[in-house]
């Protein structure tokens, strides 16, 4: 099973100003998050981000924040409730004049097409990333966790999260794996631009 850019959404979890200084190897984690966001923009993959208690932990760090169009604040550790309306939009009301057409003749409006794969990265791996991933698995999404763009305050916590995520059914990948799977082919029209982002 390979990732498909047309079926993916990138979710970046809690890369916040007051949290990142405590994360092990934070500079590498942030660099890979930025690469993912730039690749997603290049390949037309939607990007969502979350912020845990933004008043307490601050906003998403720059320059990552400037690469993200939509940031969802949250207070629960798992972001499933905040993400679901964006990942699985509800169907709109039926079209047609309800006064002149009986209900069975009104045309239902189709929901926006759902993307079945969520590419997930963030901090902390053993708390917010883990709980978000497990919630998305329960909603029957394919969840791909980008290990080199995830961090925790300690490596032990981060690695324990990866063990648990793999056991639960998440695919563990790296930034480069995501890039090359989204591209699919060296003849992709954006191949050279994408390659420049990951080299």
| 113: its two tokens | 């097409």
- Rounded distance, CA 15 to CA 154, Å? 16
- Percent of the chain having pLDDT more than 90? 84
Cβ pair 80, 135 in contact under 8 A: yes
72: domain CATH number is: 3.40.50.850
Residues 6+ apart with CB under 8 A from 191: 183, 185
**Single pTM value for the model:** 0.89
pLDDT band at 199 (very low <50, low <70, confident <90, very high): confident
- Rounded distance, CA 33 to CA 15, Å? 9
- Rounded distance, CA 136 to CA 73, Å? 17
The verdict on residue 186 lying in a domain is yes
The verdict on residue 96 lying in a domain is no
Write the pLDDT tens digit of every residue in 124-180.
999 999 999 999 999 999 999 999 999 999 999 999 999 999 999 999 999 999 999
The verdict on residue 152 lying in a domain is yes
Nearest-5° angle of CA 29, CA 34, CA 37? 125
The whole domain housing 75 covers 5-88+113-198
The verdict on residue 59 lying in a domain is yes
Number of domains in the chain: 1
- Rounded distance, CA 111 to CA 25, Å? 41
pLDDT band at 198 (very low <50, low <70, confident <90, very high): confident
């Amino acid at each position: 099973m390979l990732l498909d850019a047309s079926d993916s959404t990138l979710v970046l979890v809690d890369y916040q100003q007051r949290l990142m200084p405590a994360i092990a190897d934070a500079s590498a984690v942030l660099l890979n998050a930025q690469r993912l966001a730039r690749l997603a923009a290049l390949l037309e993959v939607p990007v969502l981000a979350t912020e845990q208690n933004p008043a307490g932990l601050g906003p998403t760090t720059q320059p990552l924040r400037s690469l993200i169009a939509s940031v969802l604040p949250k207070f629960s550790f798992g972001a499933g409730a905040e993400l679901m309306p964006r990942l699985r939009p509800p169907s709109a009301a039926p079209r047609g004049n309800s006064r002149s057409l009986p209900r069975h003749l009104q045309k239902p409006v189709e929901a926006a097409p759902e993307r079945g794969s969520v590419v997930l990265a963030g901090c902390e791996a053993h708390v917010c990333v883990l709980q978000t991933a497990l919630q998305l698995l329960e909603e029957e999404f394919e969840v791909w966790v980008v290990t080199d763009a995830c961090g925790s305050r300690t490596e032990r916590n981060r690695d324990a999260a990866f063990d648990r995520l793999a056991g639960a059914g998440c695919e563990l990948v790296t930034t480069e794996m995501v890039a090359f799977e989204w591209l699919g082919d060296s003849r992709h029209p954006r191949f050279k631009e994408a390659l420049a982002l990951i080299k």
